[in-house]
Every structure is written in structure tokens, then in C-alpha cells.
Amino acid sequence: MRLVLLSFGLCLSFFLQAQTSGKVVFNEKWERSFRNWSYTEAHTWELYFNDTIAVCHWIKPEEKESAGAVKTFSWMQDLEDVYVSHIREKQVEDAVEFFRRTFLIDGDFPSFKWKMTGKQGLVEEFPSMEAMTVSGSDTIYAWFSPRIQVPVGPREFRGLPGLILFLETEGGNRSFTLESVDLNYTPTSEDLSFKRPNKGKEMTYDEFIKFRNEKAEEMREMYGR
């Protein structure tokens, strides 16, 4: 992924000819460490969207990993994660696995309190702006493009006035980078269909994020970071 910072303001033409449908593929990398034990998670996500709905699916890794690939643990092989955004209503319909439990999350978009940093640049060829937020102990930076007018991104990250194209935590231990973007692609009904597990703990996003942050803090206290 190529990120180029700009020292001048984004001109009005950057916001014209806004795109509202397409397909994006993200690569997620998450470096974790507990005392003397560390490992790296690697995931791939496909995001399909139009002006009413966006669906982000986890992609099952290939059974045979190539040489030098990041190891995928057996418990990561069959995630059922799916993130569904009803854009006009700003409602979600997600299924998320956490600590080997399934959570069914409905209701409003997550209430990330995004703040603009003032930085502007290009993510690949897309004029973009940087925003930041704090979730638990993590400071998160996201680059989004107002040219692609859908308020979504990889996984649960939503709520900015444009598609999130790059995201990372402060320190870089977790990141989402672009593998590909196709704004000429028109998602099919199959692309935008989704299947959630029949059973799971029902929560709103704010409840889930609070629960997840508390569990992460317990892990840090138990094992160190």
C-alpha cells in the first residue's frame, strides 16, 4: 500500500465524482505479545458496498500456507465473522467471534469519537484524510477518502465521512492495509447477502466494545503485554 502525505489542502475536485459502490480487499496484521510469548495474526477481509449496504466478510485462509507466511492457528481457521452496515439507517447487523464465543451485535454504528488530525494525502491514488480515536488502551489512526462516500471500513470501524482505506494502532502492532480496490465493480445480490450464526450473545456495539476492552485489560494484567 502506498501512502503519500500532502502539504496542501485537498482541492474541491477531490470530492467530485464520488463513488458509492465497489469491492475492497484488506489485509489485517496483528502482532500480539504476552510476557515471553508472542505471535502474529494475519487475516484477509473482503468488503462489498453500494449506497445502502456494506458487507465485510472474513476470508478463510488456504489450507496450505506458502513459505514464509504468517502462521494461522487452528482456532482461527473457521471464524464466522461478518460485519453488515445498513448505511442510510447507520445500523449494524454483525456476528463477531471473541474468546471463542459468538456475539450477535445489532443497533447503531459503534460510537467511535473520531477527531481529524489535519493530515491529508493519497492512499494509493485516492485523496484521503486522517482521523484518530481512542478505544480502550489503543489509539487508532484511520485514513479515509471522501471520494468514496460510504461511512465504513474493515471490520467494525465505521462512522467517518468516507471509506476507510488504511488503519493502524499507535505503535503499529495492528494494521489494515489495502490489497485491492475496484470501484468499477457492481456488487451482486450474492456479494451483499450474509449469514449469521443462529446462536450467540446479543449485544449493542457499545456494550460489546466495553466488554472487549475489559477482557483485554484482564489479559494484560494477567500476562503482561
Tell me whether strands 22-34 and 37-49 are parallel, antiparallel or unpaired: antiparallel
User: pTM of the predicted model, to two decimals?
Assistant: 0.84
Determine the pLDDT at residue 26: 97
| Domains identified in the chain, total number | 1
**How crowded is residue 21: how many other Cβ atoms within 10 Å of its Cβ?**
18
Contact (CB, 8 A) for 50 and 38: no
CA separation for the pair 218, 225 (Å, rounded): 11
CATH number for the domain harbouring residue 152:
2.50.20
Secondary structure of residue 24 in the 3-state scheme: strand
Residue 106, C-alpha cell as written in the block:
445489532
Determine the pLDDT at residue 5: 61
Q: Which pLDDT tens digits describe the chain residue by residue (225 residues)?
A: 666 665 444 444 444 456 789 999 999 998 876 666 677 889 999 999 999 999 999 888 764 444 444 555 444 556 678 999 999 999 999 999 888 889 999 999 998 999 999 999 999 989 999 999 998 888 999 999 999 999 999 999 999 999 999 999 998 789 999 999 999 999 999 999 988 888 899 999 989 988 988 887 787 777 655
Q: Which domain holds residue 31?
A: 3-223
- DSSP assignments along 128-140, one per residue: EEEEEEEETTEEE
Residue 111, C-alpha cell as written in the block:
460510537
Contacts 24+ apart (CB under 8 A), 79-82: 80/196, 80/197, 81/57, 81/155, 82/55, 82/56, 82/57, 82/58, 82/194, 82/195, 82/196
What is each CA distance from 159 to 1, 34, 39, 91, 213, in whole angstroms?
23, 32, 30, 11, 20
Phi, psi of 101, deg, nearest 5: -120, 150
